[in-house]
C-alpha cells in the first residue's frame, strides 16, 4: 500500500469514501435507479467485469448521478451471461442478457437516459418450475 504523503491526499481519500457511503444511504430514494451486474464466476468468465466498467464509464460521460451500480452474485441465467438487472423504484426490474461493454453503454444511453427498453436484449423466459 502506498504511503499518504499529505493532508490533502488523506482528505481526498476520506471524501471518496464518504461519497461511496452516501450512495448507499440514498439508494432507496424514489429517483434512484439501481443497476446490478452479475459477477459470479460465470459472469466474470463471460466478461461481466468489462461490462461493469463500461456502464460506470458511460454513466460518468453522461453525467448521470441518480444511478447506483452494484455487483451481485449469480442471478440464475448462466447461459445469458453477462447479465444486467435494471431496477426503478416503482417498476418491475428488467433483466438484460449477453451484455458486453457496448451493450452496457447502450443500456445507459437508451434505457437509463431515454426510458427506452432494449427489447432484443431482455431475458423473457422464466425459470421452469420443478414439481
pLDDT tens-digit map of 32-73: 899 999 999 999 999 999 999 999 999 999 999 889 899 999
From the list 85, 70, 92, the residue with the least C-alpha distance to 123 is: 85
- pTM for the full model? 0.75
**Domains along the chain?**
31-121 (3.40.30.10)
pLDDT digits (tens, 9 = 90+) for 72-120: 998 889 899 999 999 987 788 899 999 999 999 999 999 999 999 999 9
Cβ pair 86, 108 in contact under 8 A: no
CA-to-CA distance for 25 and 113, rounded, in angstroms? 22
Amino acid at each position: 500500500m502506498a504511503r499518504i504523503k499529505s493532508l490533502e491526499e488523506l482528505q481526498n481519500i476520506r471524501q471518496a469514501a464518504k461519497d461511496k457511503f452516501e450512495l448507499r444511504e440514498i439508494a432507496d430514494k424514489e429517483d434512484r435507479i439501481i443497476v446490478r451486474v452479475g459477477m459470479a464466476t460465470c459472469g466474470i468468465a463471460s466478461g461481466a467485469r468489462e461490462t461493469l466498467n463500461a456502464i460506470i464509464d458511460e454513466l460518468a460521460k453522461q453525467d448521470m448521478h441518480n444511478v447506483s451500480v452494484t455487483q451481485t452474485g449469480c442471478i440464475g441465467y448462466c447461459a445469458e451471461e453477462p447479465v444486467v438487472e435494471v431496477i426503478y423504484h416503482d417498476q418491475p426490474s428488467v433483466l438484460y442478457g449477453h451484455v458486453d461493454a457496448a451493450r452496457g453503454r447502450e443500456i445507459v444511453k437508451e434505457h437509463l437516459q431515454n426510458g427506452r427498453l432494449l427489447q432484443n436484449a431482455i431475458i423473457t423466459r422464466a425459470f421452469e418450475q420443478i414439481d
